[in-house]
Structure 1
Amino acid sequence: AEKFAALKREQALPLAINPNSDQYLEERLQLLDEQLATVTRLAKDNELPDAILTESGLKITPLDAAVPDRAQALIDQTSQLLPRIKITELLMDVDDWTGFSRHFTHLKDGAEAKDRTLLLSAILGDAINLGLTKMAESSPGLTYAKLSWLQAWHIRDETYSAALAELVNHQYRHAFAAHWGDGTTSSSDGQRFRAGGRGESTGHVNPKYGSEPGRLFYTHISDQYAPFSTRVVNVGVRDSTYVLDGLLYHESDLRIEEHYTDTAGFTDHVFALMHLL
C-alpha cells in the first residue's frame, strides 16, 4: 500500500494509460468522436468494410471459408507424409527436442526424475485421463506403486506450468510458427466436462449448465496454436473471472497484445482492467 501511494504521488504507476482521469476521459472522448465521424462518412458512402447499411439495419458480409477448397488436396498429401508412430514415441521425441521433462522436479530437493519412462507414463496417464491403475496395467514393467510415488513427488500444478511454458517457448521460437502468427494475439474459451454424483446440493448454479455437477477447463491459446494456459473452473463461476489469470500468470515468453473471448469471457470490468495493462 505504501509503495502504491508513493508511485501514485510521483505519477509513476506502471499503467498503459494516462493516470489522470480527466485527461484520459478527454482523450478517449476525442478518439470516440473521430472514430464515429469516420464510420458515419463510410456508411454514408456505402464504403464500410464487409458491411452495409440498409433501411432494415446493418448487414454484415458472411465470412469466407478459412481454408479454401483447393487446399484440401495439399492437406491430404501432407498428412500422408507424417509417420504413423505410437503416442509414447511422440512424447519421447518431443522431450528430446525440448527437454520439458526436466521441469518435473522433486518436491523436496528439486532433483529431476531419474526414470524418464516412468515420468512420461504418469504424464500420459493424466493426459488421456486413463489414471494410474489402468496405466500400470497396460504398461509392461510399470506398477501402480511406482507411478503413484512419482506422481506424488514430481507432478504438481507448478511443474506442469513450467513444462507447458517450455513447450510453448520452443514452438514460439520455431521459424515455422510465424506462418500462423507472431504470438501477440490470443483467445480463450472453456470446455465443460460433466462430473458424476449429485451436485444440486452444492448450490452452484450456472445459467447455461444449471446445477448439474461438472468442471470447466478454461484454455488460452495463442495465434500460433499454442495453449499457454489452462485452468480448472467451477461451472458456477463466469469464464471472465479467469481471463486475466491466464494472460498474467502464464510462464511463457509470449507477449500478448490482443485477446479475444466469447460473451462468457467478457465483462466490462475485466476488459477495462485489460486496458490498463
Structure 2
Amino acid sequence: MINKEKHITRRGYTLCFLSKLQDSLRRRDVYVTGSNRWGDPRARLLQGADWQANRIKVYRSLGHPTDPQEAIKSLGHQLDSRYRQVAARLCENEAVELDVSGPKPRLTISPLASLDEPDSLKRLSKMISDLLPPVDLTELLLEINAHTGFADEFFHASEASARVDDLPVSISAVLMAEACNIGLEPLIRSNVPALTRHRLNWTKANYLRAETITSANARLVDFQATLPLAQIWGGGEVASADGMRFVTPVRTINAGPNRKYFGNNRGITWYNFVSDQYSGFHGIVIPGTLRDSIFVLEGLLEQETGLNQPKL
C-alpha cells in the first residue's frame, strides 16, 4: 500500500479499504442503509411512540415480563440451574471426556451407538408403504392443491386478476420441472391446452416467482398444522435450522468462495428452517459460507406462515 517514496498508493489503499469494509459488513460493524441483507436490523424495530403503544401487546405475545430485570433474573436462574445439573453429572458421564493435554482444554463426546431396527418397526414400515398407492407426482400435486388451494397463491406478475383455464395444471407441471430439474420438455403435451409449450413457458415467466412460491409454501405449512398427525408430532413452536452447501455452476452474485467446500469454484449455502411438525417454513440462500447465525433471526421473523414464532 506504501510505495518506495513512502507515499500511500491509491490502488493499494482502495483494495485495503474494500477488504476491511467487507469484513466489517460480515461482522455487522457497518450497515448499508436500505439493504435487506446488510442493513441495520434495529432500524426495523418499533421506535418512540409506536413502541410505547404496542409494548405491552408485544410482551404478552412473546410471553415476556414487562420488567427487563425480571426477565434477566429468570434467565440467570435457568442458566445457573443448567450449569449445576451438567457439572453434577459430568464425573459420572462416561461418554464425555475433557482432554487437557493440549494448549487448550478440549471436550470430547462419544457418539451414540446405532440401534438395530426391531422387527415391529420393519413390519410397520412395510404396512405404511403398502398403504401408499403408486401415483404420478404431478397427480399428487393436483390432489394436494384440491385440498389446500396452494395454486391460488400464484398470481400474474403484471395482471394480478389474470386467470386462465386449468391454471393449477400448468403451475403443477412447471413446479415439477423446476423441482426435478428436468426442464419443461418432458411435460409438454400438445394435445392438452394446459400443457402446451407456449402455456408452460408463459406460466413460468409470469407466475413462478419467489414471492408466489413463498406464499404457496405458507399455505401448505398452515394446512399441515391443522392435521391431527402433525399435531401429534409437535405444536409448531419449536424448529431446527440447517444449511446445505452447493457449488454454483454459473456465475452469480449470490455465490461466494470457500476452498474447503467448493474448491476453486464458488457456491451457496441453502439455509432451511423445519418445524417440529416436519414442515419447511422458510429458506434463505446464503452467499458462500457466511456465518449462519447471522441469518437465524431473519428466518424466524420473515417467515410468513401461521406458526407461533417457533423457537430454535
TM-score (norm 1): 0.73
Q: Is the 8 A contact 2:256 2:268 kept in 1?
A: no
* Residues 1:167 and 2:210 are matched in the alignment: no
Q: 2:178 & 2:235 partners in 1: Cα distance?
A: 31
Q: Structure 2: which amino acid aligns with 1:153?
A: N
Q: Is the 8 A contact 2:254 2:268 kept in 1?
A: no
- How far 1:191 moved relative to its partner? 2.1
* Residues 1:87 and 2:137 are matched in the alignment: yes
RMSD: 3.7
- How far 1:237 moved relative to its partner? 2.6
Q: 2:230 & 2:142 partners in 1: Cα distance?
A: 21
- Cα pair distance change 1:218/1:140, threshold 3 Å: farther
- Residue aligning to 1:264: none
Which segments of 5 or more consecutive residues in structure 1 lack a partner in the other structure? 260-277
- How far 1:23 moved relative to its partner? 6.0
Larger relative contact order, structure 1 or 2 (CA cutoff 8 Å, min sep 6): 1
* Residues 1:234 and 2:234 are matched in the alignment: no
* Residues 1:106 and 2:156 are matched in the alignment: yes
Q: Is the 8 A contact 1:190 1:217 kept in 2?
A: yes
- Cα pair distance change 1:144/1:58, threshold 3 Å: closer
Q: How much identity, in percent, do the aligned residues show? A: 28
Q: How does 1:107-146 map to 2 (within 5 A)?
A: 107-111=157-161, 113-114=163-164, 115-116=166-167, 117-132=169-184, 134-135=185-186, 137=188, 141=192, 142-146=195-199
- How far 1:254 moved relative to its partner? 1.2
Q: 2:190 & 2:296 partners in 1: Cα distance?
A: 38
Q: Is the 8 A contact 1:165 1:228 kept in 2?
A: yes
- How far 1:158 moved relative to its partner? 1.1
1:54-89 deviation line (CA, Å, top 9, x unaligned) = 797876682664964530121012102211111111
* Residues 1:224 and 2:277 are matched in the alignment: yes
Q: 1:207 & 1:5 partners in 2: Cα distance?
A: 47
Q: 1:63 & 1:70 partners in 2: Cα distance?
A: 20
Q: Structure 2: which amino acid aligns with 1:12?
A: R
- How far 1:230 moved relative to its partner? 2.1
- Cα pair distance change 1:231/1:80, threshold 3 Å: same
- How far 1:24 moved relative to its partner? 5.5
Q: Which moved more, 1:78-87 or 1:245-254?
A: 245-254
- How far 1:207 moved relative to its partner? 6.3
- How far 1:153 moved relative to its partner? 1.9
Q: Is the 8 A contact 1:192 1:215 kept in 2?
A: yes
- Residue aligning to 2:249: 196
Q: 1:202 & 1:230 partners in 2: Cα distance?
A: 14
Partner residue of 2:230 out of 160, 171, 177? 177
Q: 2:55 & 2:222 partners in 1: Cα distance?
A: 31
* Higher CA-based Rg: 2
- Cα pair distance change 1:144/1:223, threshold 3 Å: same
- How far 1:219 moved relative to its partner? 1.3
- How far 1:22 moved relative to its partner? 6.1
- Cα pair distance change 1:98/1:257, threshold 3 Å: closer
Q: Is the 8 A contact 2:272 2:280 kept in 1?
A: yes
Q: Is the 8 A contact 2:255 2:267 kept in 1?
A: no
Which segments of 5 or more consecutive residues in structure 2 lack a partner in the other structure? 1-42, 100-106
- Cα pair distance change 1:69/1:250, threshold 3 Å: farther
